[in-house]
Amino acid sequence: MLKFVGRRLVQMVFLFFLFLTLVFFLLEAQPGDITAQFLDPTIPAEIRAQLVERLGLDGGVWSRWWNYITNFVTGNLGVSFQQYPRPVLDVITERIPRTLFLFTFATLLSYVIGFTLGKRLAWKRGGFSEHAITVSGVLLYTVFYPWFAIIMILFFASGLGWFPINGFLNPEFWRGAPYTGNEVFGQLIFSLLITGLVFGFTAWFARRQEERSTARVVRVIGYGTSLAFLVIFWLVRGDMRPFALDIVHHSILPIVTLALIAFAGVMLLTRGSMLETLKEDYILTAQAKGVPEKDIRDKHAARNALLPVVTSFVLGLAFIIGGGVVTETVFSWPGMGSLLLTATVAEDVPVATGALAFVGILALLAHLIVDILYAILDPRIRIQTGN
Amino acid sequence: MVVEEKDPVDVLTELPEGEGITIGAGEQLPESLWKVRLRLFWKSFKRNWTLFKENKIGLAGLAVIALFALMALSYPVMRSAGPWQNDAVYNPVIGYDAPRAEFEIVATEADVVDPTTQMDANKAQLWCFRVVAGDTCVIPQQPAPPGSDHWLGTDPLGRDIASQLAFSTRAAFLLGLIAAVVTVGVATTIGSIAAFYGGWLDNFLMRVADLVLLLPLIPILIVMSGLWQINLPILGVLIGILSGFGGTAIVLKSQALSIKVKPFIDAARVSGGSNWHLISKHIIPNVLPLSFLYMMFTVTEAVSLEATLSFFGLLNIDMSWGIMLNTAQSQGYLRSGLEFWWLLIPAGVAVTLLAAGFFFVGRAMDEVVNPRLRAR
């Protein structure tokens, strides 16, 4: 297992450097150099030359490339033009948790919806409901995202008034608040992270139990603890609670929108994978034994159909990150995606490329996590690569 | 002295076509090669069409695409006459054609009985200089609601929405075509080369493909559009390369691998076929059908990406579905509810439907290519 993780890690590092190189050449290939673009054209030539030397732009391409890579690895991404003289890394680290929050919940939600609908679709092939769900799922998948996000806002925020129209928090409500938004959000993330970890550990530990009764006890205790932790945490931080709830309230509509855009991919994959699993002999055996249909579907077929769906997470990942950029922008959710777009529009090149690099890192890291998860779920994978 | 060596197998296929092929001494194939190929193609097409037809959703997708094609064709026909007659065809980018409404001027706001035909003098000053009660004032309506002149109304700049919609359809098809052709070219080439040569080249190409597959296209294209001026053909090529080098190349490589071990490849090699001949005449033609499947998904991707990037105003394009929404957004009409629905609905529905149409066709083709997905 360790060997497997190590191999994947090495591969990821290699891919990451390949990606950084790509970003570097994107920058390098832009017309004109940075001094020609952003400086007064009338400054004397020797000063310009000095500047070029100071910025390390005087060497050859490879020395510049090496500069870029070393600077990136040491965390020096330059200074934002727009928010001068704030370092890019500072801007980005402020935005990352918000994007991760949106992204994690939207992914989880889309997987839950997609997997549940997908297994049902495969189970009841043909018929009107299959067509209806497939068509609406694909329409949501190919939908013009910003347009869909706007429709969601028009309907649920402007029309029904259930959710705020956009933004991260309600400034009127926060006036005179004893905390900053980032502090409250940090606490929120912390409590959810702990809850999630306990939850995940319980699920993993319960599956390892041989006895059904012990597994049940483990589940009750584990899930109970995680929920109790969340409740107690926010009872203790009662002064912060209304502010945290405000942030959560603002996040619901973007999360739902992103999940709706993304679930169809999971749904179609589950369906395909289920159809294959349903042809297996053990399904026939289960049917012959008289196992209830629901149990065959959920416990025999869907469990095994889950594996390919988890691997294909990689495909969905790029999709959901792309959708996230759009969703964040339309909902004015101040995460990496909207940072990327606003920086690009404002020609804030260091921030734009820095954000792009971090989006890439996010994708690679998520890929790594899924790989490891997959190896945990399916012993065949680690045995194969171990040899 | 360098003698130009000819690949013997190439010599065989380079025989003048249409004359029948001579094998050995005096023997002739009954038909010329292209006729055989055409017949085979037609046969497999008919077989696949029967399979395709069973998928109702795929047929619906095809119908949607056909509808959009008709719409694209209709544009120069439907828009070749009208008040813009000095131009041969109405240009939806610069064609200002706001319908004018005549208002009767009354003295004060309290006198206005019917706000659709009457206006108080004070307000009318905005359009008609120094009007007094009793005058009439002609005011251009923009955005104008749908009417007989403009079936889908006009946009905030007084341009006909229906024409913009049809005009943009052509652009969408063009973009899809470019992206699809580039994808097929890139993916089949990369896939075949990686499968054929193997070794470090295969490893390197597949790692790059992994990377491209992992990366979300939207952020990359957003940053690229900030650094360069990207227009429609360039965008098509970029999307083609990025989607062709990613997942499609990986799938086609595995397909090419399964072909590489077939006996006819060995046969061709034994009869002296060069590597290039093997790749271009044997592997690529066998991989190509599968790549058409991924072409459909590329078109879906290209259409929605273009719309998204245009919506954010990042592309150097003068009219597209995304630009239509961008105009409505930048003029502040988009978030005001459904009051100005003709600015919001047509463009969004067009993007969604065309993208979905190609996706459904792709999925139906997937069921033709992958027997395991079929109902029987």
pLDDT digits (tens, 9 = 90+) for B90-112: 777 777 777 777 777 777 777 77
d(CA B295, CA B361): 10
Together in a domain, A265 and A146? yes
Picking from A49-63, B23-37, B59-73, B361-375, which range would have the lowest pLDDT averaged per residue? Answer: B23-37
Q: Do residues A71 and A101 both lie within one domain?
A: no
Per residue in B238-260, pLDDT (tens digit) is 999 988 888 888 888 888 888 88
**Does residue B129 sit in the same domain as residue B252?**
no
How far off is chain B from A223, nearest CA to CA, in Å? 33
Asked whether residue B106 is assigned to any structural domain, the reply reads yes
A142 assigned to some structural domain = yes
pLDDT, position A223: 85
| Residues A269 and A140 placed together within one structural domain of the fold | yes
- Convert the pLDDT of each residue in A167-216 to its tens digit: 777 777 777 777 777 778 888 888 888 888 888 888 777 777 777 788 88
Q: Alpha helix (H) ranges present in chain B?
A: 8-13, 33-53, 56-78, 121-124, 161-197, 199-214, 217-227, 232-243, 249-260, 263-270, 275-277, 284-311, 321-330, 341-369
Residue in this structure with the two tokens 């929920």, named with its chain if needed = A227
Judge whether A219 lies within some domain: yes
Q: What is the pLDDT of residue B23?
A: 54
Mean pLDDT value of segment A40-47: 80
- Nearest by CB to B373, which of A146, A275, A363? A275
Q: Chain B: give the shortest CA distance to residue A273, in Å.
A: 9
Residue B121 and residue B207 share a domain: no
| Together in a domain, A62 and A130 | no
- Report how many Cβ contacts below 8 Å link chain A to chain B: 158
Q: What is the DSSP string of B225-250?
A: HHHS---HHHHHHHHHHHHIIIIIHH
Across chain A, mean pLDDT equals 81
Report the residue of chain B nearest A345, measured CA to CA.
B226
A141 and A54 in one domain?
Answer: no
* A contacts of B344 (beta carbons < 8 Å): 147, 150-151
User: Is B374 in the A-facing interface, judged by CB distances under 8 Å?
Assistant: no
Mean pLDDT of B227-236: 87
Smallest Cβ–Cβ distance between B373 and the set A272, A343, A364 belongs to A272
Chain B residues closer than 8 Å to A321 by CB: 216, 218-219
Output the pLDDT for position B237: 92
More confident residue, B268 or A35: B268
Question: Are residue A46 and residue A191 in the same domain, yes or no?
Answer: no
Mutation for testing the A interface, residue in B321, B334, B352, B376 having most A CBs under 10 Å: B352
| pLDDT, tens digit (0-9, with 9 covering 90-100), for A277-288 | 877 788 888 888
In a domain, A316, yes or no: no
pLDDT attached to residue A184: 80
Poorest-confidence range of A6-15, A55-64, A66-75, B33-42? Answer: A55-64
Residue-level pLDDT at B84? 52
Residues A40 and A169 in one domain: no
A356 interaction partners in chain B (CB closer than 8 Å): 219-220, 223
Domain boundary among B92, B111, B140: B140
Q: Which of these three, A317, A332, A347, is where a domain ends?
A: A332
How far apart (Å, rounded) are the C-alpha atoms in residues B167 and B159? 12
The HSE-up count of residue B6 (CA atoms within 13 Å, CB side) is: 8
A140 and A218 in one domain? Answer: yes
- Nearest residue in A to B228, CA atom: A30
Collect contacts of B77-82 with beta carbons under 8 A, ≥24 apart. Answer: B78/B166, B79/B160, B79/B163, B79/B166
Identify the pLDDT of residue A381: 57
| Residue B291 is assigned to a structural domain of this protein | yes
Under DSSP, is residue A281 helix (H, G, I), strand (E, B) or coil? Answer: helix
With an 8 Å Cβ cutoff, is B219 touching chain A? yes
Residue B92 lies in a domain: no
Q: What angle do CA B364, B367, B370 make, to 5 degrees?
A: 150
pLDDT (average), residues B48-73: 85
Tell me, yes or no, whether B70 and B109 share the same domain.
no
* A-contacting residues in B 116-155 (Cβ below 8 Å): none
B356 reaches A (C-beta below 8 A): yes
Closest partner CB to B226 (pick from A272, A317, A352) = A352
- With cut-offs at 50, 70 and 90, classify the pLDDT of residue B182: very high
User: Token pair for residue B185?
Assistant: 């070219």
What is the domain range of residue B307? 47-77+159-375
Please check whether residue B220 touches A, CB under 8 A.
yes
The tokens describing A334, both together, are 């101040």
- Residue A300's pLDDT is 78
Q: What is the pLDDT of residue A33?
A: 64
| Contact by Cβ (8 Å): A169, A190 | no
Cβ within 8 Å of A, B 306-345? 307-308, 311-314, 321-322, 325, 334-335, 337-338, 344
Confidence bin at A350 (pLDDT 50/70/90):
confident
Query: What's the domain range around A44?
Result: 32-76
CB contact under 8 A, A158 and B337: yes
Total domains in chain A come to: 2
Rounded Cα distance, B307 and B305, in Å: 5
Cβ distance A159 to B208 less than 8 Å, yes or no, reads no
Do B306 and B354 belong to one domain?
Answer: yes
Q: Which among A19, A31, A347 has the least Cβ separation from residue B226?
A: A347
Q: Residue A369: is its pLDDT beyond 50?
A: yes
Residue A380 located in a structural domain: no
Q: Is residue B61 domain-shared with residue B210, that is, in the same domain?
A: yes
| Residue among B211, B307, B335 minimizing CB distance to A15 | B211
B224 contacts on A by Cβ (under 8 Å): 26
> What are the chain B neighbours of A30 within 8 Å (beta carbons)?
227-228
- Whether B308 sits inside 8 A of A326 (CB atoms) is yes
Residue B336: strand, helix, or coil: coil
pLDDT of residue B376: 45
Q: Are A70 and A98 contained in the same domain?
A: no
Q: Which CATH number characterizes residue B200's domain?
A: 1.10.3720.10
Residue A196 lies inside a defined structural domain of this protein: yes
On whether both A145 and A269 belong to a single domain, the answer is yes
What confidence tens digit (pLDDT) does each residue in A270-313 have? 887 888 787 778 888 888 888 888 888 877 777 777 777 777 77
> Do the domain assignments include residue A234?
yes
Judge whether B298 and B180 are in contact, CB under 8 Å.
Answer: yes
Asked, for residue A101, whether it belongs to a domain, the answer is: yes
Whether the per-residue pLDDT at A38 is higher than 70: the answer is no
Average pLDDT over chain B reads: 79
The residues facing B138 across adjacent strands are: B102
Helix (H) or strand (E) holding A284: helix A281-289
- A135 and A212 fall within a common domain: yes
Domain boundary among A292, A317, A332: A332
Residue B29: its pLDDT value, please? 61
Which of B59, B68, B245, B308 to probe by mutation at the A interface, max A CB count within 10 Å?
B308
Q: In chain B, which residue's Cα lies nearest the Cα of A130?
A: B57
Confirm whether B178 is domain-assigned: yes
Domain assignment present for A354 = no
DSSP code per residue over A79-137:
B-STTTT-BHHHHHHHHHHHHHHHHHHHHHHHHHHHHHHHHHHHHS-SSHHHHHHHHHH
> CA-to-CA distance for A246 and A173, rounded, in angstroms?
9
Confidence of residue B178 (pLDDT cuts 50, 70, 90): very high
Q: Min CA distance, A151 vs chain B (Å)?
A: 9
Do residue A198 and residue A152 come from a single domain?
yes
Per the CB < 8 A criterion, the answer to whether B118 and B104 are in contact is: yes
Same domain, B297 and B178: yes
Q: Do B60 and B178 fall into the same domain? A: yes
Asked if residue B132 and residue B172 are part of one domain, the reply reads no
- Does the CB of B281 have a partner CB in chain A at under 8 Å? no
| B129/B219 same-domain check | no
Strands B118-120 and B100-106 come out as parallel
Task: Give the distance from residue B7's alpha carbon to the nearest chain A alpha carbon, in angstroms.
Answer: 39
Contact B308 A144 (CB under 8 A): yes
Domains identified in chain B, total number: 2
